[in-house]
Chains A and B, each alone.
Chain A
């Protein structure tokens, strides 16, 4: 069965079955990633461009590793280091890249809608690796994939809290879409200045008090706080933020037994979450990173082999 989509721009178009298919594909790659030789020839001869106009070492490395472990050639194009993008429009940069016939372009851009803009103009697969405040679909997929493992595949009836700066978070937006679709009850908590307008149109419960918000949850996903929000006038000071909205030991007792801690990284230790919680066995922060490579391998595999009838399957 062919993967139906040319691009991965957001999780909102994915059905539960689509997500399950990505997870199952990632399962087989998880295994590859534990071998001594962590490479399969699945995408040999294919090329993936990593076009990161906004700095992100971790997502870029994860995609790069995913491509290489599938034997695809990956090429990085950073906005700062490239004369290609200087003063050039996104359209022209995209067309220039396309002229080199890559099989997929992975794009990170600080402008919401940038990935979609590119995808509408290019024939090759476009993977959104984060566009502005809008979407980060592979992050949501890897988060759900990580939870699927520890929850034995059962999302129904679970409650997850997303904590922190929701307004500026593509991670939050994509996770809300995907997790609610999978059956998770999603809560949001943060200061009102960091919550987007019209949350009544989102399928979530909103809290402003962290003690109430964590009561009875099965997982808490802390978001990275951009420290400049203080200068933006959205917060008084960071100490107050960490006291009011930072996750600490005292919250553990309010959560369901065995509740999990997540963070998309990089963590401001002691700010969004205490060091103690970040490092405890219930923390999934490093599992998320591990899942990330496998999920991105699955995404690249499904998109790039979409057109190759009877293309190479995962070697196991």
Chain B
């Protein structure tokens, strides 16, 4: 073995103490801790810390350009880093919309400026249609060349199946995957709460699960017909899971994500018109939560994503119907899902797959599997450092989360990207 630039000693990998040797920003070797020295290479003692590949979030809203009071690329990436994320895919619903190379390049510039020594990797998601308006295809070749890895009309679902079909076809020529926010825009109008007992009692127009699954059905059929991949964003309900499971059995090229809040919270969280729990798709019932957990465990849902949607406090401090949708998720995502590991709902391997290997595979992103030569992108998670979610402990500008006041079971102690320490 050539000599490492530095060594992480005694980190817990799959429950056993390991030493990780890093050189030139890459993994040199991961091996069981032996107590032996590594010459004069600097050593970081990681006793008691859990070693994970740096997480990848394929669905984040960073709000820059245009909505910097909610979040900017610097604060968003800082929240990502402190949340254990080494790579982030940011959605195109900025102002101006990321439907041209200039916006993509500006996003990438801002990420470099925020972390001059190297920080979390940013992969912008281009708009699928010009201005996200759903009328004309965005210039996907230009977007791919500028650094986009995917295209999406997230937040503004494309109801026009003809246009959507062409987007999937055209994107494929540039190696871009289409990410679809699945919702029938007519049926989903006036969202933020599941259609059910709570919406009925509170007198709110609810969004039925079928508003989501109808569009999932369309996408599954389209992906099958075209033989091209489609990635389904933030799945929240049983019906969507069943459609995806059956499609995968037939070999259809669909992948899917869900978010920590769909594994943890139910529609009860909007009780009292709590706008912090107003999210799209809405939080569902416990039945659906159980299905989402199981689907993630069995791999029907391939990966996790935060759908980090920061908003300023005054924007959420309005009557429920008026409040914007979204939960600020980067700070808490890993901790919430580690909590599910503690409860035995998920295994640590499930987490590694859902937060790193599956997203990397679906979008062609670098990932660390700790094999020699892999990028040294890793997180050291301290399971003993519990913390309370509060405006003071969050790094995102958006403190809009129904988890405020909750104790998280641990915290990111270190994050390395390309062998550089970010946190």
Say yes or no for B406: interface residue by CB 8 A criterion.
no
Name the one of B200, B208, B314, B318 contacting A196, with C-beta atoms under 8 angstroms.
Answer: B200
List of A residues within 8 angstroms of B314 by Cβ: 89, 91
B200 touches A201 (CB 8 A): yes
Complex Cα distance, B320 from A113, in Å, reads: 7
Complex Cα distance, B319 from A201, in Å, reads: 25
Number of interface residues of B (CB under 8 A): 21
Mark interface residues in A193-210 (1 if CB within 8 Å of B CB, else 0): 000111101100000000
A166-202 contacts to B (CB < 8 Å): 170, 173, 196-199, 201-202
Say yes or no for A133: interface residue by CB 8 A criterion.
yes
Shortest distance in angstroms between A116's beta carbon and chain B's nearest beta carbon?
6
B166-206 contacts to A (CB < 8 Å): 195-197, 199-206
List of A residues within 8 angstroms of B322 by Cβ: 111
Name the one of A109, A113, A117, A202 contacting B202, with C-beta atoms under 8 angstroms.
Answer: A113
Say yes or no for B136: interface residue by CB 8 A criterion.
no
Chain A residue with the shortest CB-CB distance to B320:
A113
List of B residues within 8 angstroms of A109 by Cβ: 319
Shortest distance in angstroms between A105's beta carbon and chain B's nearest beta carbon?
15
Name the one of B195, B197, B203 contacting A135, with C-beta atoms under 8 angstroms.
Answer: B203
Name the one of A89, A132, A135, A199 contacting B200, with C-beta atoms under 8 angstroms.
Answer: A199
Given A90-B318, A91-B317, verify A113-B200 contact (CB < 8 Å): no
Complex Cα distance, B321 from A196, in Å, reads: 17
Say yes or no for A296: interface residue by CB 8 A criterion.
no
Chain A residue with the shortest CB-CB distance to B206:
A197
Given A132-B203, A134-B202, verify A116-B197 contact (CB < 8 Å): no
B6-59 contacts to A (CB < 8 Å): none
Say yes or no for A162: interface residue by CB 8 A criterion.
no
Complex Cα distance, B316 from A89, in Å, reads: 11
Chain B residue with the shortest CB-CB distance to A118:
B319
Name the one of A116, A131, A201 contacting B201, with C-beta atoms under 8 angstroms.
Answer: A201
B320 touches A112 (CB 8 A): yes
Complex Cα distance, B274 from A116, in Å, reads: 11
Mark interface residues in A100-131 (1 if CB within 8 Å of B CB, else 0): 00000000010111101100000000000001
Chain B facing A: main interface SS: loop
Complex Cα distance, B202 from A113, in Å, reads: 8
Say yes or no for B272: interface residue by CB 8 A criterion.
yes
List of A residues within 8 angstroms of B204 by Cβ: 112-113, 132-134
Chain B residue with the shortest CB-CB distance to A134:
B203
Shortest distance in angstroms between B144's beta carbon and chain A's nearest beta carbon?
41
B195 touches A112 (CB 8 A): no
Say yes or no for B273: interface residue by CB 8 A criterion.
yes
A91 touches B197 (CB 8 A): no
List of A residues within 8 angstroms of B196 by Cβ: 197-198
List of A residues within 8 angstroms of B202 by Cβ: 112-113, 134
Name the one of A132, A173, A198 contacting B197, with C-beta atoms under 8 angstroms.
Answer: A198
B321 touches A111 (CB 8 A): yes
Complex Cα distance, B195 from A199, in Å, reads: 12
List of B residues within 8 angstroms of A112 by Cβ: 202-204, 273, 319-321
Shortest distance in angstroms between B321's beta carbon and chain A's nearest beta carbon?
5
List of B residues within 8 angstroms of A114 by Cβ: 319
A111 touches B317 (CB 8 A): no
B261-279 contacts to A (CB < 8 Å): 272-273
Number of interface residues of A (CB under 8 A): 23
Given A198-B196, A199-B200, verify A89-B317 contact (CB < 8 Å): yes
List of B residues within 8 angstroms of A111 by Cβ: 319-322
Chain A residue with the shortest CB-CB distance to B200:
A196
Shortest distance in angstroms between B179's beta carbon and chain A's nearest beta carbon?
30
B200-246 contacts to A (CB < 8 Å): 200-206, 208
Shortest distance in angstroms between B219's beta carbon and chain A's nearest beta carbon?
25
Complex Cα distance, B199 from A199, in Å, reads: 11
Complex Cα distance, B202 from A116, in Å, reads: 11
Mark interface residues in B306-335 (1 if CB within 8 Å of A CB, else 0): 000000001001111110000000000000
Mark interface residues in B90-118 (1 if CB within 8 Å of A CB, else 0): 00000000000000000000000000000
Complex Cα distance, B201 from A109, in Å, reads: 17
Name the one of A89, A113, A199, A201 contacting B273, with C-beta atoms under 8 angstroms.
Answer: A113
Chain A residue with the shortest CB-CB distance to B196:
A198
Complex Cα distance, B320 from A109, in Å, reads: 12
Shortest distance in angstroms between A52's beta carbon and chain B's nearest beta carbon?
15
List of A residues within 8 angstroms of B319 by Cβ: 90, 109, 111-114, 117
B321 touches A113 (CB 8 A): yes
A130-169 contacts to B (CB < 8 Å): 131-135
Shortest distance in angstroms between B149's beta carbon and chain A's nearest beta carbon?
39
Mark interface residues in A72-112 (1 if CB within 8 Å of B CB, else 0): 00000000000000000111000000000000000001011
B200 touches A117 (CB 8 A): no
Complex Cα distance, B322 from A109, in Å, reads: 12
Which of A90, A91, A132, A173 has most B Cβ within 10 Å?
A132
Complex Cα distance, B231 from A184, in Å, reads: 52
Complex Cα distance, B358 from A218, in Å, reads: 63
Which of A89, A113, A133 has most B Cβ within 10 Å?
A113
Complex Cα distance, B61 from A38, in Å, reads: 61
List of B residues within 8 angstroms of A132 by Cβ: 203-204, 321
List of A residues within 8 angstroms of B320 by Cβ: 111-113, 117
List of B residues within 8 angstroms of A89 by Cβ: 314, 317-318
Complex Cα distance, B199 from A197, in Å, reads: 8
Mark interface residues in B322-353 (1 if CB within 8 Å of A CB, else 0): 10000000000000000000000000000000
Shortest distance in angstroms between A113's beta carbon and chain B's nearest beta carbon?
4
B197 touches A201 (CB 8 A): yes
Shortest distance in angstroms between A204's beta carbon and chain B's nearest beta carbon?
11
Q: List 11 A-B contacts (CB under 8 A).
A: A89-B317, A89-B318, A91-B318, A111-B322, A112-B319, A112-B320, A113-B202, A116-B273, A131-B203, A134-B202, A196-B200
* Residue ranges of B at the interface with A (Cβ–Cβ < 8 Å): 195-197, 199-206, 208, 272-273, 314, 317-322
* Residue ranges of A at the interface with B (Cβ–Cβ < 8 Å): 89-91, 109, 111-114, 116-117, 131-135, 170, 173, 196-199, 201-202
Beyond the given A112-B202, A117-B273, please list 9 additional residue pairs across the A-B interface where CB-CB is below 8 A: A90-B319, A91-B314, A114-B319, A116-B272, A116-B273, A117-B320, A173-B201, A199-B200, A201-B197
6 closest Cβ pairs, A-B complex: A133-B203, A134-B203, A113-B273, A111-B319, A196-B200, A201-B197
